[in-house]
Amino acid sequence: MNTEAEIREIFGHLKNLMMAHKEAGMEPPPVSKEMLGYMEREVSEGSAYPGQSDHPDSLEGLREFIGDCRRCKLHKSRKKLVFGEGSPRARLVFVGEGPGREEDLAGKPFVGEAGELLTRIVEKGMGLTREDVYICNVVKCRPPGNRDPERDEIEACLPFLKQQISIIQPEVICTLGRISSQELLLRDIKITRERGEWGSFMDIPVMPTLHPAYIVRNPSRERELKGQVWEDVKKIMEHLDLEVKKNG
């Protein structure tokens, strides 16, 4: 039984009921103040998230649905929203935590120094291209000063990440770093200790590994950390039946 889908359907019915009351000039149905406030914003501003009956079924449609997003405070300082890029039929999806400065300027995920490292992992290590995989983040706007995204920001953006994954239906998700790993695996994680252990999100296998930026920030341990990531990547490749080169 899909509990999340049932909740969305119930919420959709409540929203429609509230809209009917509003159009008839009647008092809204009895709901909590918090839920009433949220539903009033939806009625006045349009649907905040994809609903049971109107959710986008393509990445292009989802991007159009998100629009010039102002659902959390991150929109105030961003230059460009970073939706994600790659194949809509990707077998492998990489999920980071959020855009950095270069990504904010370009409107594309993982284009800075850490992005170059991820590209080398995909192309030289896995024998794929960035166009073969899909790359995105937990939040789609850059947190100021590259700080960790805050709880309300993650909750505002997570429904869209879930919809991206639902549309793509990948065979494997690779989470990059602590934030994305703990959000998808639904528990606190010490990434340096728990990387390389399979988990699951939306019934899809998840492989948590180190964020490329962590490697970039620790040049004295670069060889060691790259070796750890390569061990995790090899597990993904084996799961996808991709040839693992002996020399890594």
Token pair for 100: 């950095």
pTM, whole model, 2 decimals?
A: 0.80
Instruction: Quickly state the pLDDT bin for 185 (edges 50, 70, 90).
Output: very high
Integer Cα distance of 104 and 118 in angstroms: 17
Which CATH entry fits the domain spanning 71-239: 3.40.470.10, 3.30.2130.30, 3.30.70.100, 2.30.40.10? 3.40.470.10
Dihedral (Cα; 192, 243, 120, 131), 10-degree rounding: -110
Mean pLDDT calculated for residue range 120-149: 97
81 near 107, Cβ under 8 Å?
yes
**Which SS3 state, helix, strand or coil, does residue 110 take?**
coil
Tens digits of residue pLDDT in 17-60? 555 455 455 565 565 555 555 444 444 444 566 654 456 899 99
Token pair for 186: 């639904």
**Which SS3 state, helix, strand or coil, does residue 146 take?**
helix
Token pair for 232: 């995790």
Integer Cα distance of 93 and 189 in angstroms: 20
